[in-house]
Amino acid sequence: MTAPLLDIRDLRISFQARDGQWAEALCGIDLSLEPGKVLGIVGESGSGKSIAMMAFLQLLPRGTRVEGSAKFRGEELIGMAPARIRKIRGKAIGCIFQDPLSAFNPVKTLGQQVVEAIRLHDRTISKRDALKEAERLFELVAIPQPARRVRQYPHEFSGGMRQRAMIAMALANKPDLLIADEPTTALDVTVQAQILDLLGELREELGIGMVLITHDLGVVAGIADEIAVMYGGSVVERGATEPVFYETAHPYTAGLIGAVPTLDGTGALRQIEGTPPSIFSRPPGCAFHPRCGRAGAPCPVDTPRLLDRGGTACACHFPLTETAEAVRPARVLDGDPA
């Protein structure tokens, strides 16, 4: 297959504030995903990771300016007619949301909702057959007693089971691409692990491409083939999973890795000093430079471009080169601007 499953080129998204000022939430990102692969998008709140995915499904509020290109199997999604995009949503691209309780209609049984998801895209399937299919899907995602569970309401499910049901619903129409927006954030750690295992298994069995959006590096480490790290509306580092972890080039990525708590770790949890910039007052040049221990003269002036460095592509004027240095970022913590 020549066309990638998903191909995002220079995607820019801006919102208009009340005072008429345009704020750029996404400043031109490039991402691509081959069929059957898993892309992990990692970043803090407000880094633009969810917005990118909502943009090409046209889920953003009206009045949002979207520029650039996002091709799904070679077909341009940006600016696509509403009737056409509705055929893609839920059919070729399935979505999993962060909070499985609020993402279900509380007054319908889960079976009814899966049936609706199926029949929305194929009217020829009878309700009875669709319900059978719902049971099969529940079994696929390892929900015990599927025949009984399809007749229950969302509030009768536990968090982990609910997320499984959500995955079942997203898979209902055998999508080629699954977008999981923080699928484990609302769950306990042990349940998180189960859900991630499930996603991994499904990907093996069904060969679905996945975009996994998360702020937790640990979540993507085990399952993603590729990782894109986002900060301030840009991709700052991108590459295959192993190089991103072991040959980290961007100081921000290094800071994130350094902030992951370890079981044998002694001493305080490391953090990246400061807070992510607001989209209304993003620093000029490299958005990360006020918080960066390695920032130098060009950083506040010149926005670094994403350059391929062999292992990973990285947008930084002073990338970390040594592996040892990457694991122990020099001054991420004690760089105190105040």
Partner 1 sequence: MAMTSPDTAGLPPRRRFAGSRDLWRRLPVTAKIGALMLLFWVLTVLTVSLWPLADPLAMVGRRLQPPSGEHWLGTDALGRDVFARTMYGAIWSIPIAFVVVACAVVIGSTLGALAGFFGGWNDSIIMRLVDVTVSFPPILLAMAVAAVLGPGLANASIAMVIVWWPIYARLMRAQVLEKRENEHVEAAVAGGAGRLRVLGVHILPLCWAPTLINATMDFGQVVLLAASLSFIGLGATPPSPEWGSMISEGATKFYSWWIAFGPGMAILSVVLATSFLGDGLRDLFDRRSA
The residues of the shown chain that bind partner 1, judged by CB under 8 A, are 57, 59, 86-91, 94-95, 97, 99, 102-108, 116-117, 120-121, 142, 144-145, 148-149, 151-153, 156-158, 160-161, 169, 194
The residue (of 147 and 301) whose beta carbon lies closer to partner 1 is: 147
Q: What's the min distance (Å) between Cβ of 32 and partner 1?
A: 21
Of 90, 39, 72, 36, give the one whose Cα is nearest residue 202: 36
Locate the DSSP E strands across 161-295. 177-181, 209-214, 226-231, 234-240
Instruction: Return the residue matching tokens 């990285």.
Output: 314
The residue (of 97 and 245) whose beta carbon lies closer to partner 1 is: 97
Q: Cα separation of 22 and 60, whole Å?
A: 15
Three-class SS state of 21: coil
Q: What's the min distance (Å) between Cβ of 150 and partner 1?
A: 9
User: C-alpha angle 101/226/246, rounded to 5°?
Assistant: 115
Q: What's the min distance (Å) between Cβ of 160 and partner 1?
A: 7
Of 211, 189, 198, give the one whose Cα is nearest residue 141: 198
Q: What's the min distance (Å) between Cβ of 139 and partner 1?
A: 10
Around Cβ 86, how many Cβ atoms within 10 Å? 14
The residue (of 1 and 62) whose beta carbon lies closer to partner 1 is: 62
DSSP assignment letter at 31: E
The residue (of 117 and 213) whose beta carbon lies closer to partner 1 is: 117
Q: What's the min distance (Å) between Cβ of 93 and partner 1?
A: 8
The residue (of 148 and 328) whose beta carbon lies closer to partner 1 is: 148
Indicate the residue type of 20: G
The residue (of 87 and 331) whose beta carbon lies closer to partner 1 is: 87
Indicate the residue type of 251: P
* Strand-strand pairing, 6-16 and 234-240: unpaired
150-184 burial: b if 16+ Cβ within 10 Å, else e: beebbeebeebbbbbbbbbbbbbbebbbbbbbbbb
Q: Cα separation of 185 and 189, whole Å?
A: 9
- What the block records as the tokens of 336 is 């105190």
Q: What's the min distance (Å) between Cβ of 321 and partner 1?
A: 42
68: left (phi over 0), alpha (psi -120 to 50) or beta: left
Q: What's the min distance (Å) between Cβ of 122 and partner 1?
A: 11
The residue (of 63 and 337) whose beta carbon lies closer to partner 1 is: 63
Contact criterion met (CB below 8 Å) for 27 and 12: yes
Q: What's the min distance (Å) between Cβ of 146 and partner 1?
A: 11
The residue (of 113 and 312) whose beta carbon lies closer to partner 1 is: 113
